[in-house]
Structure 1
Amino acid sequence: MRSRHAGPESAGADPEPAGSDHTGRGGRKHSGLMAWLREIAIILGVAIVLSFLIKTFLFKAFYIPSESMVPTLEENDRIFVNLFIPRNFPLHRGDVVVFKDTKGWLPPAPPASTNPVTDVLEFIGLLPDTSQQHLIKRVIGLPGDHVVCCDAGGHLTVNGQALTEPYVNPAEVPRVVPFDVTVPEGDIWVMGDNRNHSADSRYHEALQPGSGFVSLGDVEGQAAVIAWPLNRIRTLDSYPDTFKNVPAPK
């Protein structure tokens, strides 16, 4: 008898129906696409959660709407504010701070146009916060400090110590606006670096005595970094040498 040689069908696997190989590849492609989409969704979800947590507990983004802090900050700069200060760590003289306008220093804001996308991005911290009116100034006096303008040389004094202020806008000679205040407990005294263009503590104290102080409870945090535009990225200096010889308040 002639032996029969095994053909391809005898390899132990049943032949697949026509078109089955194409169907298998399509299933794998579909499964791979879904896995990729799941990974992207997870990454986006984690990024959004992290952004929200950072904005809530660590850093918050703001933009600069005016020239009151030139040359330190230019109009339309974007900054990050350190929320640990003063919530967890004390403020220092020379710190640049963002605070809520609870005393009406700013004119009433026009009604904001409703944009759900912008609102969501602001809420999670991917856009600067415009939900409330805020101001940004430099801390000159802490609670208990005696701040005076000016001595015979035209310098501010804090607790009797004259200040040399390298952060003040060198393009203009600051106008002398006399004042003599002692900062109440729980408040600070703030001034803009662009002295001739800053409606700060001096201005409001002159309008109504007692209204020039800012409550520590209104301070959002210390401005730490310029984040935008790219050519201005830098950390913000508190100029500790300017205040190192200021004695403690009596």
Structure 2
Amino acid sequence: MARKPGRRRGIWAIALLVLGVALIGGPIAFMLSSFTATHQSGDSMRPTFAPGDLIVLRKDPAEVRRGDVVIYDSGEWGMQGPLLGRVVAVGGDRISYALGNAALTLNGQPLDEPYVNGAPGDGGAPFDVEVPKDRVFILGDNRGNAADSRFHQDSNRGTLPESAVTGVEEDQEGTVSMGLGLALFAGICLLPVGVGLGISARVVRRRESVPAAVRS
């Protein structure tokens, strides 16, 4: 049986279009289900984030680590609305600060905090906290203007349950972000190629379907 003109191009066109849609739709669906975005509304995370900055966060993280920028529910402190802060200590850690110290102390060692605006102890709130299991101690990067764990030590020594963390900032240059970006880019590139092959296949079929007498 003779192969129809343009059939191979048509098959490739369909395959590329299906792949392109999958490469675009898959990452979009994954991002909508796994990530959220918020705008920083205050000064508590300067200089890392200024008011109005868009922040992408992974929803319901399986693990919260020291140094993570997180969005968290501050209801246990009697405060309203989710807040943005940085986890400086997790369950099992001892985090402390005495007035006049040049740095916070984490498990007996000075904590290097290059992200802090001003001095690490700005705000004048000393503390010495052993963080219970499955809880976290959260501070703002702008220590002089952050209503964070330091000022809620009457409630579980200022710690919050890990479950209060509802999102962790996603590294825009991390493996997941780069992979999703590459998949989207590949899908966007494949769609026009598939469309072009489809048009080419259709043109070939039309030409071959014209009777020889008409073409002569």
TM-score class, shorter: 0.5 to 0.7
CA contact (8 A) 1:149 1:176 kept: no
Q: CA deviation at 1:150?
A: 2.7
**Could you tell me how far 1:194 is from its partner in structure 2?**
0.3
Deviation string 1:43-96 (CA, Å, 9 cap, x unpaired) is 8xx96x97565232x2111111111000001111111102363x2xx3221111
Distance 1:171 1:165 in 2: 9
Say whether residues 1:160 and 2:111 are aligned partners: no
In the alignment, what sits opposite 2:31?
A: 54
Pairwise mapping of residues 195-210 of structure 1 onto structure 2 (< 5 A)? Answer: 195-205=143-153, 208-210=154-156
Question: Distance between the aligned counterparts of 2:147 and 2:29, measured in 1?
Answer: 33
Q: Give secondary structure in 1 for the equivalent of 2:163.
A: helix
Q: So what's the TM-score if we normalise by structure 2?
A: 0.61
Structure 2 unaligned segments of length 5 or more: list them: 1-20, 175-216
Distance 1:199-1:71 versus aligned 2 partners, 3 A rule: same
Q: Matched residues in 2 for 1:174 and 1:52: separation?
A: 42
Structure 1 residue aligned with 2:131: 183
Q: Distance in 1 between matches of 2:59 and 2:155?
A: 30
Partner SS for 1:103: helix
> Identical aligned pairs, as a percentage?
32
Alpha-carbon distance, 1:198 to partner: 0.2
Structure ranking higher in helix proportion? 2
Asked if 2 retains the 8 angstrom alpha-carbon contact of 1:68 and 1:197, the reply is yes
Which residue does the alignment assign to 2:210? none
1:17-166 equivalences under 5 Å are 51=28, 53-56=30-33, 58-83=34-59, 85=61, 87=62, 90-107=63-80, 133-150=81-98, 153-166=101-114
In the superposition, the TM-score normalised over structure 1's length comes to 0.53
What do you get for the CA RMSD once the two structures are aligned? 2.9
Q: Which has the higher contact order (CA 8 A, sep 6+)?
A: 2
Structure 1 unpaired stretches of 5+: 1-42, 108-132, 226-233, 237-250
Equivalences, count: 153
Q: Is the 8 A contact 1:105 1:204 kept in 2?
A: no
Structure 1 pair 100–192 and aligned structure 2 pair: CA distance change class (3 A): same
